[in-house]
Amino acid sequence: MQVPIYHRSYRHLSTEPADIGRGVVFGLLPDLVVLAGASLILPFHGRWVVALLEWIPIPVTPRIGYWGRLPIVVPDVPSFAPAHSLYPAVVAIAGWVVGLVLLMRLSRLTPARVIGGVASIVSGVSGTFFYFAGERFPYTALDFANVWIRAEFVVWLIIPLLLAIILGTLPLDPAITLLYSTMTLLYAFWFSAIRLTLFLAFFHYAGLIWLPLVYFLGGFLLDFLYIVSYYSMAVSRTTRILRQRREMWRW
């Protein structure tokens, strides 16, 4: 029987298909819990935000709604849309100036300058719109919270799936995959409620002129960052575990 010739970069890790399947299943268990308890988790998330806003204190009205057959509680706070005033004019001018200064020199661009520049331009566009047609802004704080809760629920479903695929294929104890999947999901739930509370409070005091910027910087961008952070922690833990195991190099 002819022995196949392996490339020198090929690394064999002794992970059996059954172990991979077990790790993926354990990583997906939090997903099943979220799906099974969605009718309780979504209203609890909304009531938690309402309680935090009342504690600040900020006047808030819980709106009961449905997402398909799932009940949701959406917090609604009074907010204002500044129009034809000095406030949006200053935001527009400052946003455009800062954005152009940060992005004009292509040779000096860094990730921080790009994010700051784009965020400033978003503020400039928002300020320009509110100065000329702020009364026609089609969204309210209630609309923002409504979209936020639905989007975050999708993120909660994606997190265990991603970690199950990434960590479940590694030679790890399935309990570790379950641990990191659960930790990331619990942090996502907590951080979502805290962010929504702070953003609604910000809209109440500063106005809806900042809604585009808040969603750009505080929405999926922050979700991506903390998911990558927990993934990095899991990979770091994985390297320490695998370093204690013997591996075979095939040349």
Task: Quote the pLDDT of residue 90.
Answer: 95
Handedness of CA 161, 164, 167, 168 (dihedral sign): negative
- How is the chain split into domains, by residue range? 23-79+140-249, 82-136
The stretches of 105-219 forming alpha helices (DSSP H) are: 111-133, 141-168, 174-206, 211-218
Neighbours of 175 (CB within 10 A): 9
Instruction: Show pLDDT as tens, one digit a residue, over the chain (251 residues).
Output: 555 554 444 455 556 667 778 888 888 899 999 999 999 999 999 999 999 999 999 999 999 999 888 999 999 999 988 888 999 999 999 999 999 999 988 778 888 899 999 999 999 999 999 999 988 899 999 999 999 999 999 999 999 998 888 887 777 778 888 888 899 999 999 999 999 999 999 999 999 999 999 998 998 889 999 888 888 887 777 777 666 665 554 44
**Distance from C-alpha of 153 to C-alpha of 156, rounded to nearest angstrom:** 5
- Residue appearing with tokens 């978003």: 122
**Distance from C-alpha of 205 to C-alpha of 117, rounded to nearest angstrom:** 25
If residue 226 lies in a helix (H) or strand (E), which one and from where to where?
A: helix 220-242
Total-model pTM: 0.86
